[in-house]
Structure 1
Amino acid sequence: MMSTRVLGLGPALRKAVFSPRIVRNQIVLRNVAAKRGVQTQSLPPSASIEILNKQRLKRPSSPHFTIYQPQLTWLGSIANRMTGAALSVLLYGFSLAYLISPTNFSSAKVVEYVKQVPDSVKYAGKVILAAPFAFHSFNGLRHLGWDMGYFLSLKGAYRSGYAVLGATALGTVALVLM
């Protein structure tokens, strides 16, 4: 077991502990702490909402996106989320429908149904399916580029955004004409 004598700290510790200045400071701190009081009051639970509403009025409010001019970056982000959700709903919806009733949603039945539909409806349906798929795919590549550190400047973000829109248009046309 180590003692203060072995380390040579005995005199230093005695001086620090028994110094009159330390004793004086402790008395002053005790007096300050004794004089300082905290006042509390008991409030009914209904008063908490009133206090909260008063505090909310004093907080700064963040500007909502509706007051900003639309920008390509956040419009692309919103569209990416919407197309991803729509494509997921279609995929899971068809998958569940096939699991529930495989005879009605078999490939042969789907092909039979599509043969009966007029060409204008077929092309409209293809556009409705191809455009979100193309946009989500190309915008996903854009996000991968951002993850790797490319196109992070304002100019790069806009260039890649316009490239995604152009590739979406070309990809949609290519998918519809297949």
Structure 2
Amino acid sequence: MMSTRALGLGSPLRKAIFSPSLARNQALIRTTLAKRAIQTESLPPSAAVDILNKQRLKRPSSPHFTIYQPQITWIGSIFHRATGGALSAVLYGFSLAYLFAPGTFDSVHVVEFVAGLPDAVKYTGKALLAAPFAFHSLNGMRHLSWDMGKFMSIKGVYQTGYTVLAASAISTIALIFM
């Protein structure tokens, strides 16, 4: 077995181990680590919500869509959802009305009621039903084409968007004058 003397490390190791400066350094290290750099305090559990709310107020808010230039992609998406919701509301509303008052909302009474309306009200009512129906139907076909992997480029998305708008306008006019 090699001794530290043979390697020439005997006296430096002894000095490092038994020197009083090392003991002073260890005491310094212990006192430094024992002290905390921040103060803590004990809070009740209900204070957590208040602290969280204060932190949320300091967070930056994400940009709202109004700061962006309007694009046909997000406008089409918003209107597709809106027209789908509106058409569903009309369908369920009429269905529930027919369920609770079948004598009032049957086909004969509805046709008689609409026949008695002025022409301007008829055309306005047709437009209010035809426009969302035409747009939602045609934009739905656009979405189906995307599901098949067609028109997925930026150019294709914009072309189909403008095509849906033009076809919706033509379809709405055609449905109004039927």
* TM-score w.r.t. length of structure 1: 0.73
Q: What residue in structure 2 maps to residue 51 of structure 1?
A: 51
Deviation per residue, 1:2-28 (Å, 9 max, x gap)? xxxxxxxxxxxxxxxxxxxxxxxxxxx
Structure 1: unaligned runs, 5 residues or longer: 1-34
Q: What residue in structure 2 maps to residue 107 of structure 1?
A: 107
Q: What residue in structure 2 maps to residue 84 of structure 1?
A: 84
Q: Which amino acid aligns with 2:77?
A: S
- Structure number with greater Rg is 2
Aligned equivalents of 2:114 and 2:66: distance in 1?
A: 42
Distance apart, 1:58 and its partner CA: 5.8
Q: Which amino acid aligns with 1:122?
A: K
Distance apart, 1:56 and its partner CA: 2.8
Distance apart, 1:114 and its partner CA: 1.1
Aligned equivalents of 2:48 and 2:114: distance in 1?
A: 62
Q: RMSD of aligned C-alpha atoms? A: 2.1
Deviation per residue, 1:14-73 (Å, 9 max, x gap)? xxxxxxxxxxxxxxxxxxxxx99xx97532134313432454356453211121111111
Aligned equivalents of 2:118 and 2:175: distance in 1?
A: 18
Deviation per residue, 1:93-115 (Å, 9 max, x gap)? 00110111111111111111111
Secondary structure of the corresponding residue to residue 42 of structure 1: coil
Q: What residue in structure 1 maps to residue 175 of structure 2?
A: 175
Aligned equivalents of 2:154 and 2:41: distance in 1?
A: 54
Q: What residue in structure 1 maps to residue 126 of structure 2?
A: 126
Q: What residue in structure 2 maps to residue 63 of structure 1?
A: 63
**CA 1:110–1:44 in structure 2 vs 1: closer, same or farther (change >3 Å)?**
same
> Percent identity at matched positions?
68
Alignment map for 1:152-163 (pairs within 5 Å): 152-163=152-163
Q: Which amino acid aligns with 2:52?
A: L
Aligned equivalents of 1:115 and 1:54: distance in 2?
A: 61
* TM-score w.r.t. length of structure 2: 0.73
Deviation per residue, 1:83-130 (Å, 9 max, x gap)? 000000000100110111111111111111111111111111101100
Distance apart, 1:174 and its partner CA: 1.2
Aligned equivalents of 2:85 and 2:171: distance in 1?
A: 20
Deviation per residue, 1:125-166 (Å, 9 max, x gap)? 101100000000000001111111122221111111000001
Aligned equivalents of 1:50 and 1:97: distance in 2?
A: 48
Secondary structure of the corresponding residue to residue 94 of structure 2: helix
Count of aligned positions: 143
